[in-house]
Each structure stands twice: as structure tokens, then as C-alpha cells.
Amino acid sequence: RVRVWLGDGTERTLRIAAVMTTGTGDNGVYVTPANAPGARADRVDVALADGADAHVVAAGLERAVRPAGGRVLTSEQWLSATDPGTERTTRYGLLLVLGIALLYTGISLVGTMVMATSDRVRDLAVLRLAGATRWQVLRMVGAESLTVVAVGAVLGLTVAVLDLVGMWGALVLLSAPATIALPWSTLAAVTAACAVLATVSAVAPAALALRRPALESAGLRE
């Protein structure tokens, strides 16, 4: 039993009938109508039985609560109506963080590819001396940069999936299971942007280096 004070100051001693599983947002305290006279329920949670038709149940509930001014909402609709600004604010915040991360990623990617290609001037010249044409060398450099982006994308996706699986497992333990959803269009756009940056930043210095005579470039010391 626990001693409590109601909203009107009345002291009561209540018996704890059950303890609910803690969710992601903690749980409030629920009392029976006898211990809260005059109080109105703010919502009624309904769980569908196996085999029940959601549309039929929703229509029946709508007819039952309409005279009292109630509404029937799905969990997503209720969340949007209760806190409509959360989803939009969260999205903008994530986009801001993503934009900053992509900016620094692009700078790092371009710098790395430019330095890596500049350090291979002798190797490119040797390929020219071995019989490769200028366009063949440039295509090889472009293919290498795309391979680097592909490997990075696979590794990044693997890390993200492992992280999401861990979060999903934690939510399941909190009795708040969620569905893992990846923004494939955004991931594809980011990967494509990285591919363009990597290819341009690798091919451009290679093209400039190949304008020099191959014999002269092959004689350069690192």
C-alpha cells in the first residue's frame, strides 16, 4: 500500500494492484474511478484481438464515443495530435547534423583523394611508358575512386545497421518495439555525391599530372 494525496488534498491509502513495464517515456500512475471521483479519462488504449478487423473495430468505437465528443485515433495520429512539433523539429535537427557531417566528409574525401593521386604521379607515368593511353590511365583512376566509395558505403551501412539493431533490441527490452527503416533515397543520394566528389578529386590531379611528359614524371623522386 502507498499513501497519496488527491488533487483536492484528500489523503488516501491505496493498494498497488500492478506495476507496469517501464517504457521509453516512463509510466504514470493510474487509479480506479472509485479513487478519482469526477475525473475524466484522457484516453482509452485499445488493443486488437487476433483476427479482428481494424476498420470494423474503429467504426464501432467511433459510433460509441461520438456522442461524448470522443475521437478514435491510431497511435501515429495520436502522437501527431499530442505533440505535432516534435517530428518536424527532430527532422530539421537531424538534417542540420547530417549537413555538417556531410560537409566535413566531403572536405576530407576531396583532400584525401587529391593527396593520394598526387603521390602516384610516378606510378601513372610508368603506366604510360608501359603502353597505357592517357584515357586508360584516367579510367583506371576513376574506377579506383569508385571502388573506394563503394567499400566505404558498405562499411558505413554495416556499422549503421549494427547500431540500429542494438537500439531495436534495447527498445524491445523496454516493451516498445520499433520497426527499422532506412532512408534508402537519402543514402543513395549521399553515396552518389561522394562518388562524384571522389572521382573528380582523383581524376582532375591525375589529368594534370599526365600532361607532363611520361619520362619526366617517371624520373621524379617521392
Lowest mean pLDDT among 114-118, 158-162, 172-176, 190-194: 172-176
- Please give the average per-residue pLDDT across 159-176, as a whole number: 84
As a whole number, the mean pLDDT across the chain is 83
Lowest mean pLDDT among 13-22, 81-90, 197-206: 81-90
Amino acid 45: pLDDT: 82
Task: Say how far apart CA 153 and CA 192 lie, in whole Å.
Answer: 10
Amino acid 84: pLDDT: 61
pLDDT value at 85 more than 70:
no
Mean pLDDT highest for which of 63-72, 80-89, 102-111?
102-111
Per the CB < 8 A criterion, the answer to whether 171 and 24 are in contact is: yes
* Angle in degrees, CA 155, 100, 162, rounded to 5: 30
Q: Extract the C-alpha cell encoding 125.
A: 607515368
- Please give the average per-residue pLDDT across 79-93, as a whole number: 72
CA 87 to each of CA 83, 94, 101, 163, 172: distance values in angstroms, whole numbers, following the listed order:
8, 11, 21, 21, 22
Which is it for strands 2-5 and 11-14: parallel, antiparallel or unpaired?
Answer: antiparallel
Task: Kindly indicate the confidence band of residue 176, based on its pLDDT and cuts at 50, 70 and 90.
Answer: low
Mean pLDDT highest for which of 24-28, 98-102, 151-155?
151-155
pLDDT value at 179 more than 60:
yes
Give the dihedral of Cα atoms 64, 70, 72, 76; nearest 10 deg: -160
Q: Extract the C-alpha cell encoding 15.
A: 493498494
pLDDT value at 1 more than 80:
yes
Lowest mean pLDDT among 106-115, 177-186, 203-212: 177-186
Task: Say how far apart CA 94 and CA 152 lie, in whole Å.
Answer: 22
Q: Which residues contact 198 (CB under 8 A, 6 or more apart)?
A: 109, 110, 113, 145, 146, 148, 149
pLDDT tens sequence across 39-50: 777 778 888 888
- Which residue matches cell numbers 557531417? 101
Helix (H, G, I), strand (E, B) or coil at 12: strand
Per the CB < 8 A criterion, the answer to whether 25 and 14 are in contact is: no
